[in-house]
Amino acid sequence: MGQTITEKILDDHLVEGDLTPGEEIGIEIDQTLSQDTTGTMVWLQFEALEMDEVQTELAAQYCDHQTYQFDFKNTDDHRFLRSAAGTYGAYFSRPGNGICHNVHKENFAAPGKTLLGSDSHTPTPGGLGQLAIGAGGIDIAVAMGGGAYHVEMPEVVNVRLEGELPEWATAKDVILELLRRLSVKGGVGKVLEYTGPGVESLSVPERTTITNMGTELGATSSIFPTDERTKDWMAKFDREDEFVDISPDEDAEYADEIVVDLSDLEPLIAEPSMPDNVVPVSEVAGQDVEQVIVGSCTNGAYEDILPAAKMLEGREVAKHTEMIVAPGSKQASEMLAREGWTAEMMAAGVNFSEATCGACIGIGHVPASDSVSLRTFNRNFEGRSGIEDDSVFLCSPEVAAAAALKGEIVDPRDLADELGDLEAPGFEMGTSYSGGYGEGDADIITPEESIDDDLIKGPNISSVPVKDPLDADVGGETLLKMQDNITTDHIIPATSDILKFRSNIERLSEFTLSRIDDTFAERAKAADSGALVAGENYGQGSSREHAAMCPMFLGVEVVLAQSFARIHKANLFNFGILPLNIDEDTYARIEQGDDVEVVDDVAEAVASGQEEFTVRVNDDWEATATLDASERERRTLAAGGKLSLTKQKHGEGD
Given the rule CB under 6 A, which residues bind ligand SF4? 65, 99, 119, 121, 296-297, 357, 360-361, 377-379
State yes or no: cis peptide before 83, omega within 30 of 0.
no
Q: Under the criterion CB under 6 A, does residue 120 sit at the interface with ligand MIC? A: yes
* Residue ranges of E strands in 312-442: 322-326, 350-352, 372-375, 391-394
Q: Under the criterion CB under 6 A, does residue 37 sit at the interface with ligand MIC? A: yes
| Total chain residues near ligand MIC (CB under 6 A) | 12
Residue 544's binding partner among ligand MIC, ligand SF4, none (Cβ under 5 to 8 angstroms by kind) is ligand MIC
Q: 3-state class of 283 per DSSP?
A: helix
Helices 36-48 and 546-553 cross at an angle (nearest 10°) of: 60
Residue 158 or 376 with smaller CB distance to ligand SF4: 376
Site map for ligand MIC, 554-593, x if CB under 6 A?
Answer: ----------------------------------------
Closest Cα partner for 193 from 226, 149, 152, 151? 226
Residue 35 or 581 with smaller CB distance to ligand SF4: 35
Q: Under the criterion CB under 6 A, does residue 376 sit at the interface with ligand MIC? A: no
> Which of 361, 405, 508, 561 is close enough to bind ligand MIC by CB under 6 A?
361
Q: 3-state class of 608 per DSSP?
A: coil
**Cα separation, 570 vs 629, whole angstroms:** 10
Site map for ligand MIC, 307-346, x if CB under 6 A?
Answer: ----------------------------------------
- Identity of residue 359: A
Q: Under the criterion CB under 6 A, does residue 38 sit at the interface with ligand MIC? A: yes
How do strand 612-617 and strand 595-598 relate by DSSP bridges? antiparallel
**Cα separation, 462 vs 464, whole angstroms:** 7
Residue 37's binding partner among ligand MIC, ligand SF4, none (Cβ under 5 to 8 angstroms by kind) is ligand MIC
Do 485 and 103 contact (CB within 8 A), yes or no?
no
Q: Under the criterion CB under 6 A, does residue 543 sit at the interface with ligand MIC? A: yes
State yes or no: cis peptide before 273, omega within 30 of 0.
yes
- Identity of residue 507: R
Q: What's the Cα-to-Cα distance from 361 to each of 33, 326, 368, 370, rounded to whole Å?
A: 19, 13, 15, 18
**Cα separation, 307 vs 136, whole angstroms:** 35
Q: Which stretch binds ligand MIC (CB under 6 A): 239-247, 538-546, 588-596, 625-633?
A: 538-546
> Which of 207, 406, 544, 566 is close enough to bind ligand MIC by CB under 6 A?
544
**Cα separation, 577 vs 554, whole angstroms:** 11
Q: Which stretch binds ligand MIC (CB under 6 A): 114-122, 155-163, 190-198, 362-370?
A: 114-122
| Residue 356 beta carbon to ligand SF4: minimum distance, rounded to whole angstroms | 8
Phi/psi at 295 (5° precision): 150, -150
Q: Which residues contact 420 (CB under 8 A, 6 or more apart)?
A: none
Residues 64-83 that bind ligand MIC (CB under 6 A): 65
Q: Under the criterion CB under 6 A, does residue 239 sit at the interface with ligand MIC? A: no
Residue 195 or 378 with smaller CB distance to ligand MIC: 378
Residue 358 or 475 with smaller CB distance to ligand SF4: 358
List of residues contacting ligand MIC (CB under 6 A) = 37-38, 65, 119-121, 361, 494, 541-544
